[in-house]
């Protein structure tokens, strides 16, 4: 019998160590690498490869039927103590009508031999605390949330992976690497492989990163706004063109511009009120001290009056992009020109 349920991914990690598993897990969160890693660990711990055909059942939530789920849960494992059932992208709070009469009953009386996992990949997980289902899950499920790692943890992980490839990277360069490449561990694996292959030295340098790594949108937007504040309008337009060529939508690009200008404004206000970096990180919703330092430095180079005007221009442009049928690229270019002309 499983132990008393404790919510969180820490419970799952403890279960893997003790080999004492819960009957019901809910895997969700934006960090796909960790979700996949721990799902694989659960499969390895519970299912012998020789009997996987009988003891590992996976469903796509879109095609799941009540009969298939009931049969999977109620069928005994073969030559094993436990059976693992994985259901991907099934909204347990708003199930199809066919599940209304059986889902609650099934989940509140799972057999001891079953380990059932609801795995959220492309479908966002949205808990509804007002429902009877949530009351039930609070008693019976382990909610394993996998968020992006904090900067300190992520830096340690990146440096371990680089060392495993017989290279090294210092803390400052690693922070720069994360700023350019983002915090998705899945994406970072590819970027780590690229940068270690490019380096001819034992230690990774910034020029290695600049040469081969793919920048995330927020890092590119930094270059874009720098070009605007330096009145390098042609460079700003070229950056927008490159982003569009990479299949970023106009709305997504300008949403990132708006978000960045708002963060610059927050950094400027923080400077004037003598706020600290921790307060700024909370204000801008980031956990990267490198990003906060870079943002603070950029804010010193612009006036509060310009930032207010830029926020106004961005707000109007964002609304126009979402409501107008006009040439969206031209709308963006006009906004950038307006911001550059008011510096």
Q: How do residues 119-176 score in pLDDT, each as one tens digit? A: 999 999 999 999 999 999 999 999 999 999 989 999 999 999 999 999 999 999 999 9
Residue 16 CA to residue 180 CA, distance in Å, equals: 34
b/e per residue 249-260 (b: at least 16 CB within 10 A): ebeebbbbbbbb
* Spatial contact of 149 and 174, defined as CB atoms under 8 Å apart: no
Neighbours of 197 (CB within 10 A): 12
Torsion angle, alpha carbons of 50, 56, 57, 60, to 10: -110
pLDDT score at 73? 96
d(CA 270, CA 293): 12
pLDDT digits (tens, 9 = 90+) for 225-284: 999 988 899 999 999 999 999 999 999 999 999 999 999 999 999 888 887 777 888 888
Domain 217-341 CATH class label: mainly alpha
The secondary structure of the chain, three-state, reads CCCCCCCCHHHHHHHHHHCCCCCEEEEECCCHHHHHHHHHHHHHHHCCHHHHHHHEEEEEHHHCCHHHHHHHHHCCCCCCCCEEEEEECCCCCCCCHHHCCCHHHHHHCCCCCEEEEEECCCCCCCCCCCCHHHHHHHHHCEEEECCCCCHHHHHHHHHHHHHHCCCECCHHHHHHHHHHHCCCHHHHHHHHHHHHHHCCCCECCHHHHHHHCCCCHHHHHHHHHHHHHCCCHHHHHHHHHHHHHCCCCHHHHHHHHHHHHHHHHHHHHHHHCCCCHHHHHHHHCCCCHHHHHHHHHHHHCCCHHHHHHHHHHHHHHHHHHHHCCCCHHHHHHHHHHHHHHCC
> Residue 298's closest CA among 273, 325, 318, 271?
271
Q: Hey, what CATH class is 151-212 in?
A: mainly alpha
CATH code for the part of the protein at 9-145 = 3.40.50.300
Position 2 confidence tier, pLDDT thresholds 50, 70, 90: very low
**What's the CA dihedral at 39, 40, 42, 47 to 10 degrees?**
130
pTM for this entry = 0.84
Q: What number of other Cβ atoms are within 10 A of residue 278's Cβ?
A: 10
What pLDDT digit, counting tens, does each position of 39-71 carry? 999 999 999 988 888 999 999 999 999 999 999
Please say whether the beta carbons of 281 and 292 come within 8 A.
yes
Map out the domains of the chain as residue ranges: 9-145, 151-212, 217-341
Inter-residue contact 202 to 234 (CB < 8 Å):
no
Q: Residue 287 pLDDT more than 80?
A: no
């Amino acid at each position: 019998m499983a132990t008393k349920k404790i919510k969180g991914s820490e419970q799952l990690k403890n279960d893997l160590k003790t080999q004492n598993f819960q009957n019901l897990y809910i895997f969700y969160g934006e960090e796909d690498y960790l979700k996949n890693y721990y799902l694989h660990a659960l499969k390895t711990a519970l299912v012998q490869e020789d009997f996987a055909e009988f003891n590992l059942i996976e469903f796509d939530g879109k095609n799941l039927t009540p009969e298939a789920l009931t049969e999977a849960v109620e069928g005994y494992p073969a030559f094993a103590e436990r059976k693992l059932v994985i259901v991907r992208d099934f909204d347990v709070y708003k199930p199809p009508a066919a599940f209304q009469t059986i889902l609650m009953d099934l989940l509140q009386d799972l057999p001891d031999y079953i380990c059932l996992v609801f795995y959220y990949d492309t479908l966002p997980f949205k808990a509804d605390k007002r429902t009877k289902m949530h009351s039930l899950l609070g008693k019976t499920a382990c909610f394993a949330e996998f968020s992006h790692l904090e900067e300190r943890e992520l830096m340690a992980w990146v440096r371990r992976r680089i060392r495993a490839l017989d290279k090294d990277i210092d803390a400052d360069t690693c922070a720069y690497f994360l700023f350019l490449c983002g915090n998705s561990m899945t994406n970072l694996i590819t970027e780590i492989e690229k940068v270690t292959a490019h380096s001819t030295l034992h230690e990774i340098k910034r020029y290695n990163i600049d040469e081969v790594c793919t920048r995330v949108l927020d890092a590119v937007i930094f270059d874009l706004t720098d070009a605007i504040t330096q009145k390098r309008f042609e460079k700003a337009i070229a950056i927008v063109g490159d982003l569009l060529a990479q299949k970023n939508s106009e709305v997504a690009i300008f949403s990132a511009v708006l978000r960045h200008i708002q963060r610059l404004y927050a950094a400027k206000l923080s400077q004037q009120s003598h706020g600290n970096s921790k307060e700024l990180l909370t204000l801008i919703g980031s956990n990267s001290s490198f990003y906060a330092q870079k943002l603070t430095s950029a804010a010193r180079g612009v006036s509060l009056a310009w930032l207010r005007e830029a926020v106004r221009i961005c707000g109007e442009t964002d609304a126009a992009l979402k409501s107008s049928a006009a040439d969206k690229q031209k709308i963006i270019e006009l906004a950038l020109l307006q911001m550059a002309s008011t510096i």
